[in-house]
Structures are given as C-alpha cells and as structure tokens.
Structure 1
C-alpha cells in the first residue's frame, strides 16, 4: 500500500518527489509561535544586508527539503526553510484549518524571528498556491515569487470536467486531488506529519477546490514571478498499474496534455503583467525538478533575486 500511495503522490497531486523529498527531521532550532513549537533552518542570515531579499521556502504536501538548491546559491543570499505545524519537529495545531491560516502562521514565524521583508518566496507543488496567497495577504512585504512545478489552484470545475471528457478519462484532476489527500491522511505508512498536513488540506477544500483563492486580487506588477513547470511527463509502467488498481480510467497522454495546457495557460495569465517575470517549461521533467536539475532551479531563483531593486 505504501508504494501505491507514493506513486499516486508523484503522478497526480504534484505533492513531492515522495521518496526523496519527504519531510525529514529538522534537528535545528525551534521557536514558539501561536503557542506551538515550530522548527526552522536559516542559511547565511548573518550575511544579509538591510533591505536585501531573503528566500522563504514553502514545501509541498507533507513537507520536504530544498537542500539540493542551497549549496548552489551565493553566500550573500539568505534563506529560511520551515516545517508547517504538524510536520517534522513542528507541533501540530488543530486551530489551523485553512490555507489563509497557514500563511498567517508563516508570517507570524518570520516576525517572531525578527526576519524583516522583503521576502522572496519559493513554493513547490502545493506550496505554490500558499506563496500566492501569502503575496495576496502581505503584498507590501513580498518582492518575488518562484513557483516550482506548482499545483494549479486556478483550475475551475468547468475546465476540470471538460479536460476529463476531452481526454476520454473517467477521473478528473480535482477528483484525483481529493482521493490523494484522503489516502494520505489515512495512510499508516506515511509520517504523522504527512497525515496532519493532508488532513488539513483536505478540510480546507471541503467547500470546493481551493475556494480561498477565487477572489484574490491580481499580483502587484512589481513582484517578480518565476514559474517553472514540468510537462509532457513520461508515462511509466507504475502509472498504468495504478490506473488499473484504482480503476481510474485515465487516458494518460491525453489527460496530461489537457491539464498541462490549462496549468500553463493559468500561470501565464497570473504573471502576464508582472515586471521581470518568466514562465519556464521543462518537457519530460519529473515533478521533483529541483532534485533533477538543482543547478537550473538555483539559477532561476538567483535571477529573480537579482531583479529586485532597492528603493
């Protein structure tokens, strides 16, 4: 069952490069935020000059590490990784139910640590929607966004249904997302943190697919946005075995084609008016793109960082 669920994570929800990006014990410092212990790691913080951006990393569902990227960044670029409540060494907090509360807790963590803006947020997978929401809540504090193969939170119910029909498949992307969150929240083989993170994400979507994001204001044009998307993924034998075991009825090539096109269209629209922004398409890459090519991702993050001009 563990291998089956891991395969689901990799294929559909874009939650992690599960076997290598899964949450690891932090064993770093902790701080009390909102009455709960939270774990984090900072790098090069002492080298940061006033007014310079700091990278803030937001992991995918169940947590994860951006460690492959960090040695490839210059020493003057400071960064912070953290574990959401319930993941790794961070204590669970049953009061956090929505995505808005997730980003508010991150904001409180940064302020508790006296880490001042501007923030350049890097979000992988479902971390992509979270950093978009952070930029909507705290636009004056964000100078840049880097989306690493982000989940398509902009996918509408109508688009989802049409893509399923056009691809001649039985199961849609939104349906798969719910299945995976349910499986992950119940799977005894996954970490406790993965259970908690998935259960919270599932509750936040009970009233629809990413309902908190439907009325967000446009991104401020001064926020440089870099979107990195892997598409036209290779269809492997485990994909086909999974389809048979769960009776998903997915016509893979056509299914991915439809949903890839929608995700590219949505993120292109998101950043179309933003200065110093770009959409990078990586054909036949895996979801764990910063493990597959950390040099490229580090360069794209650094380019975004360098585009920021202090007033």
Structure 2
C-alpha cells in the first residue's frame, strides 16, 4: 500500500519551529488533556491532515508537522531511516515543549513511525490510531503469493517516486525488510484503533491492490491489533489508502474514541492508586487497633478517606473489601461509620454501617442505623431496597431481645 508519494506543501506561509539549526514546519493548535501528534505517510507534508486535525483541536492540542526534507521543513544530512525520524520527533517534542500524555496518529509509513516512538516511550503514550498503517512484513508475505508481480510493483513505484525521495524510498524498503525478520516493537497496551482499507479496484494497476494482497494487508493489521486489549479494528471498503482524505469522519471518530477510552482508563488507574494507598493506610491502622489506639485510628481513617475524595458508593465497596478480603471487621466498621457520618442522606451508607454493627454485636446501635435507612429509603422508589432495610431492622430488634 503506497502513500501519496511526492505530495506538495499546501502553500501555507512558512511557520513552525527551529529544532537546533534546522527548521521544522509544524502547526500546533487547540488545547485539552491530550497532545495528539500526527505522523504522515511517506513524503507527505503536514497538510494531508487538514480534514482531521481542526476537528480534533476542539478538544485536544494537535500537532501536525512535516518531517525533514518534506514540505517546508529543512532537509537534514543524516540518512532518512525510521529510527532517525523517531529521534527527530523526540527533538521536536522537546523544542516545542509538548507534554504527554500523547495520542499518536499515524498514516501508512507514519503508522510504523508511531510504533517506534511508542516502543521507546511507552509511559508517554495514552492511545494510538493507525490509519491504514504500513507493515514491515507486507512485502515478505506478498512475495509468497506472487514474487514476480511484487517486483513489478516495486519497479512501478520507483518510477513514480520523485527524484528527491528515491534514496529514502530504497532505505525504507531495506529497513522494513530487515525489521520484518525481527520481533515487532513491543507496544504499550493502550486504547488503539486500526483503520484498514479493503477497497479493491475493478482494474488495479498494482498487485498490492488486488484481492489476494488486500487480504494479506488486512491479516497483518489483525495481527497488529492483537497486541492491544482495548480498542477496535475498523475495516472500510469505501476509501483507498488515504482514509484521512477520503473518509476523514472515520479518522476523527477513531481519535475521539481513543481519547475517551484513554480517559476512562486513566480514571480507573487513578482510582486504583487511591484504593491501594487507602489499603496500605488501613493495614497500618489495623496494627494500631491491636495496640489499643482506637481514637488515633478513627482520625487516621477519616483523614485518609477525606483526602481520597471517593464517593459514598466507592467507600461502601471499600469497606466490604476490607471485611471480605482482609477479614478486618473492626476496620471495616470504622470505614462504614465514616461513610454514614459523611453521607447522612444515604440510606445505603446507614444500612451497611448497621450490618457491621450487628456483626460487632452492637444491635442497639445497629437498630439506629437501620431506622435511618428505612426512613430515608421510604422517600425513594426502590421497594426492594426498602424491604432489605426493614429485614435488617427486624434482625437488630430480634438480637436486642436475645440479649
């Protein structure tokens, strides 16, 4: 699959940033929790993202740029190898003071480049979008299908490649062939979407555009997607290789979905960090309880829970986790007490605290909590919950009579 080889710049005034002694044509707009970096296909300037980037910039910082020697970016003397481009992206990020978390979007060859970056900086990457990405094993697999037709494709592509990009094209072919014999770069397990074109033209000029080749292309993308546990592989027959130009809404939607998924994942991780920290505090507090320091423990638990900012429902779940996983009844009771004190309008908080007081053989105190749960529950429409509160109240009254 070939990119739009030799695409020209968009005629925009020279802008961007100086990275060392070289100028890089770059446009950065928008703001938000993510920095979305776009990597173009082979020899393609930043303008190819003009149908996608503006929409993404409404909710994130976007960065589109032309690699060295493309568009209005200065050429550089180093051989144009994938690893070199990855280093130059590092330099651009530093010079432009771009801040992670990054969402990486790569088309064609750019899809391979964002894999190299993500493998080197997994902690900086929050999500990835591959737009019909180049795969290093594509030629090797096509060679098994029809070596002669593949060789003919290479001759035709070489004839179409502008003179200034011929040397880089040969370097790229060699680099991908070498990479195809090695294990693929290990990528961070982040939300990812792969967009694959399966369009088959009626009379394809290139072997790589025929049905057998497209099937190989799709299978390689399937293999790439298996590296991720969250995301989707979207197949389209409505556009060719340049999906971002022919179906920009598909690319926009993919980026937005990855950002949303990355946000959910980040929230889950932040929540788990809070829970882990609280559990360590509770373990410390449990030791203090054994040493008869109950007043200090209650203050410690209350301070930790207040600082966590967890919801009533989360604290309730945490209390039961301490009870069921750590078998710490007294500690769990303190957590539920905090919850009922902090959220006095929650029938569930009072009911849960009452249940643990009953376990602690304090039926009179438990009854008070169940009475509040019943009173609050009667204001709602959850008949099943109200029935459970009343059942617990009956248990407390029975336990009182049995004393």
Task: Tell whether the 8 Å contact from 2:200 to 2:211 is kept in structure 1 after alignment.
Answer: no
Q: Which ranges of structure 1 fall in alignment gaps of 5 or more residues?
A: 1-12, 187-194, 244-249
Deviation at 1:99, TM superposition (A): 0.4
Residue 163 (structure 1) aligned to one of 116, 139, 145: 145
More displaced stretch, 108-117 vs 136-145: 136-145
**SS at the partner of 1:60?**
coil
Larger Rg: 2
**SS at the partner of 1:308?**
helix
CA shift digits 1:196-216 (9 cap, x unpaired): 4x5224224336625388333
CA shift digits 1:232-269 (9 cap, x unpaired): 32234xx45xx7xxxxxx5x8xx622222222222222
Quote the residue 1:57 is aligned against. 38
Deviation at 1:185, TM superposition (A): 4.1
Give TM-score, length-normalised by structure 1: 0.75
Deviation at 1:59, TM superposition (A): 0.7
Quote the residue 1:266 is aligned against. 220
Give TM-score, length-normalised by structure 2: 0.59
- Note closer, same or farther for the CA distance 1:31–1:96 as it changes in structure 2 (3 Å cut): farther
Residue 119 (structure 1) aligned to one of 93, 102, 114: 102
Quote the residue 1:6 is aligned against. none
- Note closer, same or farther for the CA distance 1:181–1:24 as it changes in structure 2 (3 Å cut): farther
1:102 aligned onto 2:77 = no
- Give the structure with the larger strand fraction: 1
Deviation at 1:276, TM superposition (A): 2.3
Partner Cα separation in structure 1 for residue 175 and residue 23 of structure 2: 30
Q: How does 1:134-283 map to 2 (within 5 A)?
A: 134-155=117-138, 157=140, 159-164=141-146, 170-172=148-150, 176-177=153-154, 179-181=156-158, 183-186=160-163, 195-196=164-165, 198-206=166-174, 209=177, 211=179, 214-221=182-189, 223-236=190-203, 239-240=204-205, 250=207, 256-283=210-237
Task: Tell whether the 8 Å contact from 2:9 to 2:71 is kept in structure 1 after alignment.
Answer: yes
Task: Tell whether the 8 Å contact from 1:25 to 1:88 is kept in structure 2 after alignment.
Answer: no
Deviation at 1:279, TM superposition (A): 0.6
Partner Cα separation in structure 1 for residue 9 and residue 231 of structure 2: 30
Quote the residue 2:13 is aligned against. 27
Deviation at 1:66, TM superposition (A): 0.4
1:40 aligned onto 2:7 = no
Partner Cα separation in structure 1 for residue 38 and residue 120 of structure 2: 17
Q: CA RMSD for the aligned pairs?
A: 2.7
- Give the structure with the larger helix fraction: 2
Partner Cα separation in structure 1 for residue 10 and residue 180 of structure 2: 29
**SS at the partner of 1:171?**
helix
More displaced stretch, 133-142 vs 22-31: 22-31
